[in-house]
Amino acid sequence: MPGPRQPKPSHDEPQNHRGAGGEIHQTSGGDVPVLTTQQGMPVADDQNILRAGVRGPALIEDSHFREKIFHFDHERIPERVVHARGFGAHGFFETYEPLTEITRADIFARKGERTPAFARFSTVVGNKGSPDLARDVRGFAVKLYTQEGNWDIVGNNIPVFFIQDAIKFPDLIHAAKDEPDRGFPQAATAHDNFWDFVSLTPESTHMLMWAMSDRTIPRSLRFMEGFGVHTFRLVNAEGRSTFVKFHWKPKRGMQSVVWNEAVKLNGADADFHRRDMWAAIQAGDYPEWELGLQLFDEAFAESFDFDVLDATKLIPEELVPIRRVGRLVLDRVVDNFFAETEQVAFMTQNVVPGVDFTNDPLLQGRNFSYLDTQLKRLGGPNFVHLPINAPKCPFAHFQQDGHMAFHNPKGRANYEPNSWGGALGGPRESPRRGFVTHPAEEAGGKLRARPEAFADHYSQARQFYISQTKVEQGHIRDAFAFELGKVENPAVRLRVISHLLNVDAALAAAVAGKLGIARLPAAAEAARVVRTDLPPSPALSLLSNLPPDFSGRTVGALVTDGSDAVLLKALRTALDAEGATLELVAPTIAGIVASDGSTIAVHHALVAGPSVLFDAVAILPSAEGATLLALMPATRDFVADAFAHCKFIAHSDAAGMLFDKAGVPIGDGGFVALRAKTDAAAFVARCRTMRFWEREAALPPPPKASTHPAPLRQKRG
C-alpha cells in the first residue's frame, strides 16, 4: 500500500487550519488561540487518531481523542446526541443457507434458523421532537440475539460517511446541529456552520452527493436500504478471514419523495414514517429486508482503486456482487416505546465469534466511544440488564454491583482464576468456543496520519453522480441550491462550488446558476488526480432499481356522496390483489353515501388528508360532489400537489372541473380515466413505476436567478 500521507507543517501558526487532505486553510482576521485539551495541553493534530502504523489500529493511549470523544458522548442527557428520533420494532432473522465456509458465527450455522431481532430506524441530526421527513441520513441499526451473544449491525441507509477518522465526529455533529448561539435550525443542515465545515473537509464530498440525493428523504422506512458502512471480517473455524461489507436490501424495493412533498408531509403528519411502520406491522404487512454480503479477500483489497478501510468509499456492486444470505422480518411493534425503542443500546463492538473488526479508523473510534455513550445515557454500567439489551442466550460472568444491578454472581466466587471447583467456581473461559481476534500482523510507528490511499475525495463522488438518472441528477442540483441558498456567507457557497467542479462541471455550473453566481471559482485543489474513468454503477440509482410491483403502497381516493360504488369496489379489488391499500378522503370524516345507496366510512377528511400522504391518487367524485369540492380550497391543493409531485392520477369524468379549477392540464401519461371496472387494474399497473417522471420535465422551469452580485447579508442574532 502507499506510504503515509503526512500533513503539511503548520509552522506553529494557530491561524492556519489544516484540512483532511493536508491542505492549509487560512482563517480570517485577528489572533487565534492555540487549540488545547481541557487540561491546557496544546494539540498538534486534531485530524487523526493515534494509531500503530498508517493503516494500523487505534491506540488507547491517545488521551486527546479519549477526552474529546468522552466529552462529546456526555453532552446530552437523556436524549441521544445523534439518532434521537427513532422507531423500533421486533422481529426475526432467518438464515437461508449455512455459511460455515466463511464464518464460524453460530447465526449462520443452520439453514432456516430464526434468530430474534430488534431494529431501530432514526434520523441523525434532529431531536426527539423533530419531524420525520427532514432531509437527513437515516440510522439503520439491528440487534440480533444470537445463541452466542448479541450482534449489533449499527449502520445507516447510506453506505459511506462524511469523515474518515472518528476524531472528527464531534466536529461534524456540532457543525450539523442547530447553531449554538441561536438554537436553530432544527433537524436541518441548511445553515452556515454545516456547509462551512464540509467545505473545509474535502473528504465529505462523496457523502454530500448522497445527502443531497433522494436517499435522504425516503418515502417510507420500509423502502430504504441499510448498510454496515465499514469493512468488517468474517472468520471461519479454521481461522481464515474474509473481508465483508453488510447490506440490507428492502423486499418492497426503494422509493423516495420529492423535496416539496417532504416539506408538506412534515406539516401534514410530522410522524409520517413512524405511523407508516406502525400501520404496516399492525396490518400484517411486515417490513422485510434481505441481508447481503459483499465478500472479498486481501488480494482484492490490495488491487481495489480505493482503500477498503476508508469509510468515505464504497465497493460498487458490479465489482463485488451482493450475496443474499438471510432475511430480516419485523412482525411486532414494541409494548412500550421508552422501555424498548428509547432504552435499546446499540454498539458496534457487539460482535460474536466469527465476526471481527478491521482497522477502519472511523470504526475503531466508534468501538471506543459507544460504551461511554450508553453509560451516560442509561445511567450506569448495568444497562445490559434491561430486557431490550439483555442477551437471550445463557450468559455468565463475574461483573457485579454498580448502579441498578439486577443480576449478580451467586456463590462464593466473584473472581477468576479461583480454586473452587464445579458450579461454586463459576464460569470459565473457553478457547474453543470463545471469541478470538483474528491475528492480523501490525507494525508501524506511533503517529497521527492517514494512508495516502485515503486522499482521493472526488472520484467516487463523481461516479455516484453520473450513476443517477437525469431526474435524480436534477433533484441533487436542486438540493444543493436549496441548502446553499440558506447559507449567508458567500465565501462558503463559493468553496462548495469549487469542490463540485471536481465532481461534475455541469453540476457545479447549474448550482452556481441557481444561486446567482455569475463567475465560477477555481476548482478546489485535489490531493489526488480525479478519476474520470470510473464507470456508472446502476446499483447506486434509486430510479434504476424500481420495485417489481406496487405492493405496500397506498392510493388515496377523493370521494363524495354519489361516488360510483362499482368503480370504488373495482379499485379496492385491484389494489388488494397487488398488495396495496386504498384509503378514502371525503369532504368530512362522517363518510359518504355511494351511488348504490351504501354508507361507506372514510379514512380522512379532505382538510386532514392531503395527497402527499399517498403514493398515487384517484379523483372519483359524483357530478354534484365535484361542484361541492370545487368550493373547497383544500381540493385545489390535493389535485395540484398530486400533479406537481408526478403521481399517477386516476379520475372519473366528473373530476374534469376540479382539474380546471386547480390549473392542472389533464392528458399526460400519468392520468388514467376510470370508466369501467377493467380500468382499475390498468391504473394499478401504471402505478408500478411509482411516478410519472416525464411530467417533471414538462413543468415550466423556475425563473432564472439574477446574475448580479447580491449584497452581503449580515449574520442574524
Just list the catalytic residues.
83, 156
Give the Cα separation of 505 and 462 in Å (integer).
Answer: 10
State the DSSP H helix or E strand holding residue 138, giving kind and residue range, or none if neither.
strand 138-146
Give the Cα separation of 29 and 6 in Å (integer).
Answer: 27
State the DSSP H helix or E strand holding residue 681, giving kind and residue range, or none if neither.
helix 677-687
Buried b (16+ CB within 10 A) or exposed e, 194-231: bbbbbbbbbbbbbbbbbbbbbbbbbbbbbbbbbbbbbb
Q: Where are the beta strands (DSSP E) in 236-365?
A: 241-250, 288-296, 323-333, 355-356
Per the CB < 8 A criterion, the answer to whether 689 and 670 are in contact is: no
Strand 649-651 and strand 671-673: pairing?
Answer: parallel
Q: List Cβ neighbours of 707 (8 Å cut-off, separation of 6 or more).
A: 516, 517, 518
Q: Distances in Å between the alpha carbon of 406 and those of 350, 374, 403?
A: 21, 17, 9
Three-state DSSP at 300 gives: helix
Helical segments of 416-564, H only: 459-466, 470-485, 490-500, 505-514
Is the peptide bond preceding residue 78 cis, with omega within 30 degrees of 0?
yes
Q: Could you tell me if residue 481 is left (phi over 0), alpha (psi between -120 and 50 degrees) or otherwise beta?
A: alpha
Per the CB < 8 A criterion, the answer to whether 570 and 553 are in contact is: no
Q: What share of the chain is helix, strand, coil (3-state, %, to 5)?
A: 30, 15, 50
Q: List Cβ neighbours of 488 (8 Å cut-off, separation of 6 or more).
A: 192, 713, 715, 716
Per the CB < 8 A criterion, the answer to whether 659 and 639 are in contact is: yes
Q: List Cβ neighbours of 183 (8 Å cut-off, separation of 6 or more).
A: none
Angle 169-176/192-199 helices, nearest 10 degrees?
Answer: 150
**Cell 456492486 belongs to residue:** 317
Three-state DSSP at 152 gives: strand
For residue 667, how many other CB atoms are within 10 A of its CB? 8
Query: Partners of 332 in the beta sheet?
Result: 90
Phi, psi of 407 (to 5 degrees): -130, 125
